[in-house]
Structure 1
Amino acid sequence: MRKLTWRFIVAVLVFLTLSRVGLSVWQWTRVHDAGGLWPILLGGWRIDLSLLAMVVALPALFSPWLGHRRWPTRIAAWWLRFWWLLYVLLEVSTPQFIAEYDTRPNRLYFEYLTSPHEVASMLWQGYKLSVGAGLIVFALIAWLGFRLLPTRQPDRAPLRGWLRPVVTVLAFAVLFLAGRGTLQHRPLNASQVAFTNDAMVNTLPLNSLYNVLNAALALGNERSASAVYGKMPEDEMNRIVRQTAGFDGAPLDPQYPSLHRQEPTRQGDKPLNLVIILEESLGAQFVGSLGGAGYTPELDKLSNEGWWLERTYATGTRSARGLEATTTGFLPTPAEAVLKLPRSQRDFFTLGALLDTFGYHTRFLYGGEAHFDNMRSFFYGNGFNEVVDRATFKTSPQFVGSWGASDEDMFNELHQRLLDDGDKSTLTVAFSVSNHTPWEYPAGRIKAEGDPASNANAVRYADWSIGRFFERAKQSPYWNHTVFLIVADHDARVFGASLVPVRHFHIPALILGAGVPVKKDDHIVSQVDLAPTLLSLIGIRSEHPMLGADLTQRYPDRAIMQYGDNYGYLKGDQLIVLRPNQAPTQYHYLLDHEYSANGEKLVPVAVDPSLEKTALAHALWPSWAYSKQRYRLPPKADTEK
């Protein structure tokens, strides 16, 4: 069994390496432009070893005890043969899949299983030669694998008794490390081997079996809102959503019902640059000028210098949800945020994808490891030209905690990148890490109160870093042609007895910089309203699918909040809550400005049927748009018709 296992590992590594080299040579122009062959091979070996460790775990761990016996050897041989067939099948079908879909095999394998007749007919009518050649190659390589993995060759002699537990423990340690793929905080995933904004090239380090299995696991996260909250006719849903968003007339493109033309408020020859600063877990409960604890004197001071949106609400409770709302304008769903879902890994709308078409250099900057929450793969696959994380900082971090470089180090990097950009048009999304448990930050920056490693002191440090950055930014050449947004991704800890604890979705949001009006604004604002507003302020005339409002032109005065399976739609002082398999409920929401221990006040009232329909339409629409792939920029050929 030991020999079988080693033969299998070597054969798979050689086969997948040759496949990767062949695919890279075939797509050499794109591979060369993305950085060459080595990132593909090195990343590929990491992915291969990780999956191999999981596949061979059982034979490897049982080998010291049963490897000399015939029947366990036969079972192990057939187990490895089965996986060999899967590796070969997926890899042999990869070239045609890339030719057709410009990516490795993915979730479409499962979707095709539901239509075997149509798929078989399509393959027979259009791909006879490719299918025939693929079957021949598959048969030859499968036969070779079966020859390498005989079923009747047990180990010649059993291991000595004392060696068995030792070898088992060592094998477990090696398999665990290989399967995890890294000594960093999070296990290896596809995002860690992504290295370019060419989505197809980013799939080459993966092997196709890994990609398909990964897609299969991700399908479990694609919960449909209609299965949770009920159904609504598609036409009615789209009509309500469009009307609520203020879109008049017929859609620009029937395929993309939310696509609309936005005219900016700012007029000028050259659009401004844009910097979005996402602050980790900085809820309004900490911000003095929003009625919170008063840990943010720097942010409170800056609030007098820009457009201070005093009643902004996050769409969710996780970083991925905040990134989703601010960079894509997408409404929340009961499923995972789109950063993690398979259908949104390419051609999904983002600000980066839009501004890239206007010649902007688009960048995501993060103080930690950008594979967290699949950020690297998502942003590279959807219009961002550059992903910068701690490992690729130009400036040397002075303090690195559990989650990455400190906020001041992140801001130092942001400042340097903006200086280096010169006259280029740029979008930068910068995401901080310091205000996250275990609350680590460099000593000597703030006057800590009580336990230094506390949420309160981490907020004080995050605020200090914001103030220090903007002191330098105002004296820098980029200040006069850049619009800045400071906004939290979500609150620090969302809890409460309410079905949707609205006060813990309340977050600070401040827009300041070139041409931004100075005012205090108490209208209800959702995170999804920020991106359209920023486009207007920097002077971008465009067509896009975002449903958020341009706040320079109108206020919808509504907020949308996903809290686990509960969905909250706040319109003025009325809150509709949708729950799985239950009737909607409505409340009169009384805002608690002081964040008192008593919490917010939700007074039950009769359900308004019109408001209920509006809430349901907005709860269902993003799941529909995601599954139908309607949240994207249409191909240029379509928009030119």
Structure 2
Amino acid sequence: MYTPKTAPMRYLLLLTATWLGIFTLTRAALLFTHLDEAGHAYLSIFTIGVLNDLAFLVYAALPLTLFVLLCPRRLWVSRFNRWLLQGVLAVSIYAMLFTAVAEWLFWDEFGVRFNFIAVDYLVYSDEVLNNILESYPIGALLGGLGVLTLVICVLLRKPLLRALHAPFPTFRQRAAQAAGVAVLVLLSMQFLDQNSLRSQGGNTYQRELASNGPYQFFAAFRNNELDYQQFYGTLPEAATAEQIHAELNQPGVTFLGKEPMDIRRTVSNPGTPRTPNIVLVTIESLSGKYLGSNGDPRNLTPNLDALRKQSLYFNNFYATGTRTDRGLEAITLSMPPTPGRSIVKRIGRESGFASLGQHLSEVGYDSVFVYGGRGYFDNMNAFFSGNGYRVVDQTSVDESDISFKNAWGMSDEDLYRQAVKLADADHANQVPFFLQLMTTSNHRPYTYPDGKIDIKSGNGRDGAVKYTDYAIGQFLAEARKKPWFDNTLFIFVADHTAGSAGKEDLPVQNYQIPLFIYGPKLIEAREEGKLASQIDLAPTLLGLLNMSYTSTFFGRNLLLEDNLPPRVLIGNYQHLGLFDGQDLAILSPRGGLRLHQQALGESHEIASDADNPLIKRAIAYYESASYGFKQRLLDWVPENHTPQTASTP
């Protein structure tokens, strides 16, 4: 017969109550440091939060419950087992305290509980561990957690001893207790699903604060991809096809696809084709708000501010996501951010696409992806080598050529020096080059070579931004001395902004980034205010080359005059959005359809349905992109070959 007075249940309750206390204190600390963002929904945050914590705890209790069920009395009362259980309590407390600190630091960086990013960081542990060691006083943190764990264990010593010396239950009692825990697990699975609890109203901060970090971490392992048809709103196939074709029907376009949702088409750009050299620099975390020309008074970007006056500059340009792999996906494949992982990281399905590099290689370019770090991070090497590029990363560079490096890679100056070497070699061989660079310096721990700028290395993002700008100035100064400079287009664009957190699931203003296209002998300098997306960069670049090609891109040529309605596509791993310059349509799992009116202002959210014109446009992009990926309609097909359509699984 079940009784809470037995030793195993007392121990289990002591253990889980301690964890629950740590979870509650973590939530309280996060809440009271973000009161303005979270509003006054304290009761709902803690009520839903406790339910989420309990849902995690019943799962966590299963291993100990199974041990108790099978443990004979002689083993339970042994000195070894009592020391073991005291050790389990101490280790688990330390682990929960460590998790609390990790959640605090993760929230400070991303404004959310653990998610896909945390899982990715665990996978790429070398970079992340070095980053942590360089960014935080890790020894002091771990030592402090050890002291705090010892204090808690001392405070719990008496209740622990009472629990261990309580009567040991019979097998029938243990079986009943195990059955009770199993029932709680089933009830939790049925009624305390954390995704449904997270959807119970409130802004993003409120939902994230009410979540349980460890649960979200483990859930991210199994939710790294979401099937669009299963989880998101859809339209009839004919309606989706008609809408997406209308979105992409610019002058010079002829659709070729035999399937309704196939967007493969010929793009005929006017003018004589040309093959200037191209250097496309994707800059880590460069928010437009840091530019002095956008009103920042700190003079962090003097070189970019000067470059803006000499470039075709897009001042209404948006990233598709909040991570580097999303930016690379959008720039390289011209694709919206489909739910789950980016295509860059979908191991086994990351190659074979009709990429920007493939198109340029087809007409004789040497397409090279040049990364300041180690390209296995975020699966970059596999993605780029499988999509028409050769790869040069930190491991390809002699140590003698690296003047400075940190956890994420070599300094931007070293990266640009490698780019100049590659450009010199291709120019000597009379081969046009396409160098697609990815920088690393504007990333925590924000370290860079000493003596370059007037902000000390490792002193925050302001210094990293200023060093990033300094390195660009040095690179262009060196490039101007080269015989290939006059015939080279330089493109500078951010992968994403420096901060993506906000009260909304998709805070539009936190996706805005700069785009510079610079070539004083090739393109007229001017400012362009058209609403534009990272997915528009590839077709715009090919338009600048007057290049006709077969396209699977979801982007548009921004330099063409057309009557198409404006839009940018933004998202995270779960929510998918389309912003038209005024309102934002959001598609969420479980068929959620919402509209944010005046998304850059008060951002009033209302429920919507698939009949709303903006929702229809969003569905058309994301449904056709997910379908095209699944059915391999976006694959690279050399000229004079017919694409093969995958059968429906």
TM-score computed with the length of structure 1 as normaliser: 0.62
Shift of 1:333: 1.1
1:466-523 residue CA offsets vs partner (Å, 9 max, x unmatched): 1111122223212121112100000112111123111110011111114222111111
1:42-90 residue CA offsets vs partner (Å, 9 max, x unmatched): xxxxxxxxxxxxxxxxxxxxxxxxxxxxxxxxxxxxxxxxxxxxxxxxx
Q: Is residue 332 of structure 2 the alignment partner of residue 327 of structure 1?
A: yes
Partner residue in 2 for 1:580:
589
Partner residue in 2 for 1:175:
none
Amino acid at match of 1:618: Y
Amino acid at match of 2:603: L
Matched-pair contact (CA < 8 Å) for 2:370–2:393 = yes
Partner residue in 2 for 1:516:
523
Matched-pair contact (CA < 8 Å) for 1:530–1:548 = yes
Q: Is residue 224 of structure 2 the alignment partner of residue 282 of structure 1?
A: no
Q: Is residue 507 of structure 2 the alignment partner of residue 501 of structure 1?
A: yes
- Flag the 1:185–1:604 CA change in 2: closer, same or farther, 3 A: closer
Matched-pair contact (CA < 8 Å) for 2:128–2:407 = no
Q: Distance in 1 between matches of 2:290 and 2:615?
A: 33
Shift of 1:265: 5.0
Match of 2:498 among 486, 492, 511: 492
Partner residue in 2 for 1:240:
243
Partner residue in 2 for 1:138:
none
| 1:361-510 map, 5 Å | 361-384=366-389, 386-393=390-397, 396-422=401-427, 423-448=430-455, 452-510=458-516
TM-score computed with the length of structure 2 as normaliser: 0.61
Partner residue in 2 for 1:613:
616
| 1:189-338 map, 5 Å | 221-246=224-249, 251-254=255-258, 257-264=262-269, 267-268=272-273, 270-292=274-296, 294=298, 295-338=300-343
Amino acid at match of 1:325: A
Q: Distance in 1 between matches of 2:291 and 2:422?
A: 29
| 1:545-560 map, 5 Å | 545-554=552-561, 556-560=565-569
**Structure 1 residue ranges without an equivalent (≥5):** 1-179, 188-216, 592-599
Matched-pair contact (CA < 8 Å) for 2:355–2:636 = no
- Flag the 1:606–1:370 CA change in 2: closer, same or farther, 3 A: closer
- Flag the 1:265–1:606 CA change in 2: closer, same or farther, 3 A: farther
SS in 2 for 1:339: helix
Amino acid at match of 1:359: G
Q: Distance in 2 between matches of 1:623 and 1:312?
A: 24
- Flag the 1:271–1:326 CA change in 2: closer, same or farther, 3 A: same
Q: Distance in 2 between matches of 1:292 and 1:538?
A: 34
SS in 1 for 2:579: strand
- Flag the 1:250–1:404 CA change in 2: closer, same or farther, 3 A: closer
Amino acid at match of 1:334: P
Amino acid at match of 1:244: E
Shift of 1:368: 0.5
Matched-pair contact (CA < 8 Å) for 1:326–1:527 = yes
Q: Is residue 127 of structure 2 the alignment partner of residue 185 of structure 1?
A: yes
Q: Distance in 1 between matches of 2:296 and 2:642?
A: 47
SS in 2 for 1:587: strand
Shift of 1:247: 5.4
Q: Is residue 289 of structure 2 the alignment partner of residue 347 of structure 1?
A: no
Amino acid at match of 1:435: N
Amino acid at match of 1:397: I
Q: Distance in 1 between matches of 2:605 and 2:551?
A: 38
Shift of 1:611: 1.5
| 1:24-103 map, 5 Å | none
Matched-pair contact (CA < 8 Å) for 1:402–1:440 = no
- Flag the 1:620–1:406 CA change in 2: closer, same or farther, 3 A: same
Shift of 1:551: 1.0
SS in 2 for 1:242: helix
Amino acid at match of 1:511: I
- Flag the 1:218–1:427 CA change in 2: closer, same or farther, 3 A: farther
Matched-pair contact (CA < 8 Å) for 2:255–2:266 = no
Amino acid at match of 2:246: Q
Matched-pair contact (CA < 8 Å) for 1:412–1:469 = yes
Shift of 1:552: 1.3
Q: Distance in 1 between matches of 2:305 and 2:123?
A: 44
| Cα-Cα RMSD | 2.8
Partner residue in 2 for 1:95:
none
What percentage of aligned pairs have identical amino acids? 30
- Flag the 1:456–1:265 CA change in 2: closer, same or farther, 3 A: farther
- Flag the 1:548–1:302 CA change in 2: closer, same or farther, 3 A: same
Matched-pair contact (CA < 8 Å) for 2:340–2:573 = no
- Flag the 1:406–1:359 CA change in 2: closer, same or farther, 3 A: same
Matched-pair contact (CA < 8 Å) for 2:354–2:637 = no
Amino acid at match of 2:305: D
**Structure 2 residue ranges without an equivalent (≥5):** 1-121, 130-219, 645-649
Partner residue in 2 for 1:60:
none
Q: Distance in 2 between matches of 1:232 and 1:182?
A: 38
- Flag the 1:297–1:524 CA change in 2: closer, same or farther, 3 A: same
Partner residue in 2 for 1:41:
none
Matched-pair contact (CA < 8 Å) for 1:568–1:577 = yes
- Flag the 1:182–1:615 CA change in 2: closer, same or farther, 3 A: closer
Partner residue in 2 for 1:36:
none
SS in 1 for 2:401: coil
- Flag the 1:463–1:630 CA change in 2: closer, same or farther, 3 A: same
Matched-pair contact (CA < 8 Å) for 2:584–2:599 = no
Q: Distance in 1 between matches of 2:616 and 2:585?
A: 10
Shift of 1:443: 0.7
Q: Distance in 1 between matches of 2:238 and 2:297?
A: 46
Matched-pair contact (CA < 8 Å) for 2:370–2:391 = yes
SS in 2 for 1:347: coil
Q: Distance in 2 between matches of 1:621 and 1:218?
A: 26
Matched-pair contact (CA < 8 Å) for 1:440–1:458 = yes
Partner residue in 2 for 1:561:
570
Partner residue in 2 for 1:631:
634
1:272-328 residue CA offsets vs partner (Å, 9 max, x unmatched): 222110000111121222344652121111000011100110000110000001111
Q: Is residue 579 of structure 2 the alignment partner of residue 570 of structure 1?
A: yes
1:230-261 residue CA offsets vs partner (Å, 9 max, x unmatched): 22222321221111112588731325821122
- Count how many residue pairs are aligned between Structure 1 and Structure 2: 422
Amino acid at match of 1:313: Y
SS in 1 for 2:328: helix
